[in-house]
Copies of this chain bind each other. A is one copy, B any other.
Amino acid sequence: MFCKDHIAMREKLEQVGLRVTRQRLMIANLLFSKGDRHVTAEGLFGESSAMAYPPSLATIYNTLRDFAEKGLVREIALYGGKVWFDTQTGPHFHFYLEDSEELFDLPEELIPQFNIPAPPGTRIAGIDVVIKLERLSDQETPSSSTAAA
């Protein structure tokens, strides 16, 4: 199991032309071996710090940027300071819980279809949809909380 993943990650890196190093393999494993993930550099650093020979924070930043440039992950449009990355690179939607800084995907079946023409002289490089959520206090009725745009 470890071996299979390990080889898969190695191939992932080779395919995009990134040299295979211990640090990059470790980061790739954290990112890609447990399904879709939404991460920040700090978050990944925290996770890897628990392991043996963790990469430095600078390396995490650099690696995430490299991965994003090569299309292995994609940057997410979000509010405020931190940069988030998503292992799912195609267009899809996000719920964002502001209070707790949690980010998660919309279930596939809720994603609406839309077709938008690119302005002349441009092409669409990506779409981000962020639906900002507020936690309801217990009193408030959870009814009719529906987005219309």
Residues of A within 8 A of B (CB): 75-80, 83, 91-93, 95-98, 106, 110-136, 140, 142, 145-149
Contact = CB atoms under 8 A, between A and B. Distances in A.
Contact of A145 (B95, B118, B135): B118
A147 B122 contact: no
A122 B149 contact: no
Which of A75, A83, A92, A112 has the most B CB atoms < 10 Å from its CB? A112
B132 A126 contact: yes
A145 B17 CA distance: 28
Contacts of A123: 133-134, 136, 140, 142, 145
A132 B127 contact: yes
A130 B127 contact: yes
Nearest to A76: B79
A133 B111 contact: no
A146 B123 CA distance: 8
Contacts of A114: 112, 114, 147-149
A125 B121 contact: no
Nearest to A98: B125
13 contacts: A93-B116, A93-B149, A95-B119, A114-B149, A115-B148, A117-B145, A118-B133, A121-B136, A124-B134, A124-B146, A125-B133, A126-B131, A129-B130
A106 B121 CA distance: 16
